[in-house]
Structure 1
Amino acid sequence: MHNVIEKAWGGYSENEVLCDAFSLTITRRDVKTLSGLNWLNDQVINFYLTLVMERSSSGDWPKAYAFNTFFYPKLMSSGHSGLKRWTRKVDLFQQDIILVPVHLGLHWCLATVCPKEQAIRYYDSMGGRNQDCLNGLKRYMEAESMDKKKTSLDTSNWTLECVEDIPQQMNGSDCGMFTCKYAEYLSRKAKITFAQKDMPYFRKRMVYEIITQKLINP
């Protein structure tokens, strides 16, 4: 595993394609965002969340669906009307958890929608709150129900929560890592037990998981 990771980080060509799957291409430049204290880029986050989604499709795990990193800005700028075609092939209301990466310019967070629990939650590794995100996702689910099912979704009893008492980053560069690991743990209904000290290991582990196109069993 160490050799695979070192080879991914150590080649000369930044543009060399190391992985091509799920309609996503990962180059050495992308993988290098997982080294040191670099900020993760969209490609890495999207690929990793796709691996989370792929794992859930085996039937051994809760049903998870992950939107890519371009969903949230489109939601906040255009609302549901700009996103209708994104879910032509998926029934969001059959999912146990919907994962939404949220980029705030210089900071990554995670939002989740759990339709069966009637809950929308927000996870920020720097303790921030984002009621606009929660409200935007609630409006989105209401519009999605009307558009796809032709029925009104009653969200009056839904829980909207900015989750507290979760692991926090202790530097200015690991927000993307925390976002990905929140998603991975939540997708299998695991208690979030990792901490800042685990991030160097998780960075290497994610390189291996991306190159092999499969998550390591928890």
Structure 2
Amino acid sequence: MGAMTTNRKRTEECMNVNLTNSDSSRKRSKLSTKPAPSATSAVARLSRYPQVSAPLAREVHAPCRPTKFPLAARVSIRVGDAMGNALITKFEKAKRSTLEKCRSVVEKGKEVIVVDAESDEPCADSSVEEPHGDGDKFRVQQQSQSTLSFDSELRNAELKVASRGKLWGSETQLDVESVHAYKKLLEDVGRRNGTFQRLNFEIDLNEKRRDHFNLLRPKKELDEESEALQEPFVALSSEEEDEVERAFSANRWTILVTHEHSNIEITGEKFQCLRSTGWLNDEVINLYLALLKEREQRQSHKFLKCHFFNTFFYKRLISGPNGYDFKSVRRWTSQRKLGYSLLECDKIFVPIHQEIHWCLAVINNKDKKLQYLDSMKGEDSSVLEKLAKYFADEVKDKNGKDIGVNTWKKEFVKDLPVQKNGCDCGVFMIKYVDFYSRGLELYFDQVNMPYFRRRTAKEILRLKAE
């Protein structure tokens, strides 16, 4: 048994020797295909040195001081890459320095070519041949024709150095283009300087002539139209402001003013509606409309001839069973009471109270139309229909004439100032009346409401509208 075991082991060893010999012979036959380098060639000299490899990490079984400069060790390992080829190391170093210099230089008037320093791909202009041995020499050939041409262009062209070492990009190109465009604009303006100087001279000459002619003409008063436009916005004096403040601070039962013609009394309580957030009541509105009529009578040449119904007229007119009752308001406009007929008026103003909102209706006899004004741009066609019927009945009753009011235009005014809160509808309504009675357009706004409230308070306290 022992002999058999020994023979079996020897047989396996013999087989292993045969396999080893066959593999080594196969490898020698593969290497023999290449020409053997001579002993003096660069390849042979380089092959004598072993390839640099990272040292094995030493196991530490006791406390030790950590490495102060771990990065330096890594760098020292990388230095030996590329199989210790010193020529390739120098080539890479020269390549990096050249790229850094190229980055700081920009050729004037040409596109900037951004070179990627991290790209290792060969450039189309220059190529590096692979090292090959002829048995005696190791040659590295580099074509530098494009490099020489690039250097000559850099020397001959006008160059600009980028500020702070930054490469100009698309933003710099846009800035340069904008500068060129700006220069062109300046040149165009410079060509027109002569024309501008001539026009300025003519303007100055004409202004001097106008001033000379104005001195020769007799002095005139201010233009009536411009004065009329400024009248609705005359500021209150300090005395008037103090008077209004004292009225607001008065006792609620104190009678501040009494209007004899309309028999209206304004107490301290009723006067409070003219504060910034108050809702105007009937007494304040009716008294103000009566003051507007007195203003027209004082200065008839400045204002249109108008009639101002009070806030109770329309309620009485629609109080009938069918929503219309002419007889209930027939005596309101008698010739003996008014001294004129409604047919003689240019405009007739009718305040409309829509539950909790004030609106205005106008019978515009001058322009032959019926108008409805709402500071919230509402519409109510029934109001205009009833007023058209009333005016026809009124003219027929007082003047004995039939007028075709049904053919008049019914207009819901849209181009008008609108309120931006829930308390100024009454102030808007009385100012519609004020401006229309002056023959003016409605050129006020919500921002004027605080002033209009204090001005109305002043006019009521003095019983005089201005």
Given that 1:129 and 1:162 are in contact with CA atoms closer than 8 Å, whether structure 2 keeps it comes out as yes
Q: Which residue of 2 aligns with 1:186?
A: 436
Separation (CA, whole Å) in 2 of partners of 1:147 and 1:135: 18
Give the alignment's TM-score, normalised by structure 1.
0.95
Given that 1:64 and 1:96 are in contact with CA atoms closer than 8 Å, whether structure 2 keeps it comes out as yes
Aligned mate of 2:249, from 2, 6, 10: 10
> C-alpha displacement at 1:116, in angstroms?
2.9
Q: Which residue of 1 aligns with 2:129?
A: none
For 1:107-122, what aligned pairs fall within 5 Å after superposition?
107-122=357-372
Given that 1:52 and 1:64 are in contact with CA atoms closer than 8 Å, whether structure 2 keeps it comes out as no
The one-letter code matched in structure 2 to 1:81 is: K
Separation (CA, whole Å) in 2 of partners of 1:53 and 1:122: 21
The one-letter code matched in structure 2 to 1:2 is: E
Q: Is 113-122 or 190-199 further displaced after alignment?
A: 113-122
The structure that has the greater radius of gyration is: 2
Structure with the higher fraction of residues in strand conformation: 1
Aligned mate of 1:105, from 355, 374, 378: 355
The one-letter code matched in structure 2 to 1:169 is: Q
Aligned mate of 2:274, from 34, 57, 62: 34
Separation (CA, whole Å) in 1 of partners of 2:253 and 2:396: 44
Aligned mate of 2:329, from 69, 83, 86: 83
The one-letter code matched in structure 2 to 1:7 is: R
Separation (CA, whole Å) in 2 of partners of 1:75 and 1:107: 18
Given that 1:113 and 1:120 are in contact with CA atoms closer than 8 Å, whether structure 2 keeps it comes out as yes
Pair 1:56 & 2:306 matched: no
> C-alpha displacement at 1:214, in angstroms?
1.1
Separation (CA, whole Å) in 2 of partners of 1:48 and 1:55: 10
The one-letter code matched in structure 1 to 2:328 is: G
Q: SS of the residue aligned with 1:132?
A: helix
Q: Which residue of 2 aligns with 1:65?
A: 307
Aligned mate of 2:396, from 132, 138, 146: 146
Identity, in percent, stands at 38
The one-letter code matched in structure 1 to 2:330 is: K
Q: What are the superposed Cα offsets for residues 68-107 of structure 1, whole Å, 9 maximum, x if unpaired? A: 1001111122321211010013311111111111001100
Q: SS of the residue aligned with 1:144?
A: helix
Separation (CA, whole Å) in 2 of partners of 1:188 and 1:34: 23
Q: Which residue of 2 aligns with 1:24?
A: 264
Q: Which residue of 2 aligns with 1:198?
A: 448
Q: SS of the residue aligned with 1:77?
A: coil
Aligned-residue CA RMSD (Å): 1.1
> C-alpha displacement at 1:156, in angstroms?
3.7
Which stretches in structure 2 are left out of the alignment for 5+ residues?
1-239
The one-letter code matched in structure 2 to 1:69 is: T
Q: SS of the residue aligned with 2:332?
A: helix
Q: What are the superposed Cα offsets for residues 191-216 of structure 1, whole Å, 9 maximum, x if unpaired? A: 10111111011111110000011123
The one-letter code matched in structure 2 to 1:62 is: L
The one-letter code matched in structure 2 to 1:72 is: Y
Given that 1:93 and 1:116 are in contact with CA atoms closer than 8 Å, whether structure 2 keeps it comes out as no
Q: Which residue of 1 aligns with 2:343?
A: 93
Q: Which residue of 1 aligns with 2:408?
A: 158
Q: Which residue of 1 aligns with 2:52?
A: none
Q: Is 132-141 or 154-163 further displaced after alignment?
A: 154-163
4+ runs of 1 displaced by more than 6 Å? none
Given that 1:17 and 1:28 are in contact with CA atoms closer than 8 Å, whether structure 2 keeps it comes out as yes
Given that 2:295 and 2:465 are in contact with CA atoms closer than 8 Å, whether structure 1 keeps it comes out as yes
Give the alignment's TM-score, normalised by structure 2.
0.45
Q: Which residue of 1 aligns with 2:6?
A: none
Instruction: Point out which structure has higher relative CO (alpha carbons under 8 A, 6+ apart).
Output: 1
Which stretches in structure 1 are left out of the alignment for 5+ residues?
none
Q: What are the superposed Cα offsets for residues 119-154 of structure 1, whole Å, 9 maximum, x if unpaired? A: 211100000001011001000001101211222222
Given that 1:5 and 1:207 are in contact with CA atoms closer than 8 Å, whether structure 2 keeps it comes out as yes
Q: Which residue of 2 aligns with 1:126?
A: 376
Count of paired positions: 215
Q: What are the superposed Cα offsets for residues 151-197 of structure 1, whole Å, 9 maximum, x if unpaired? A: 22222431211111110000011000000100000001111011111
Q: SS of the residue aligned with 2:362?
A: strand
The one-letter code matched in structure 2 to 1:71 is: F
Q: Which residue of 1 aligns with 2:140?
A: none
Q: SS of the residue aligned with 1:25?
A: strand
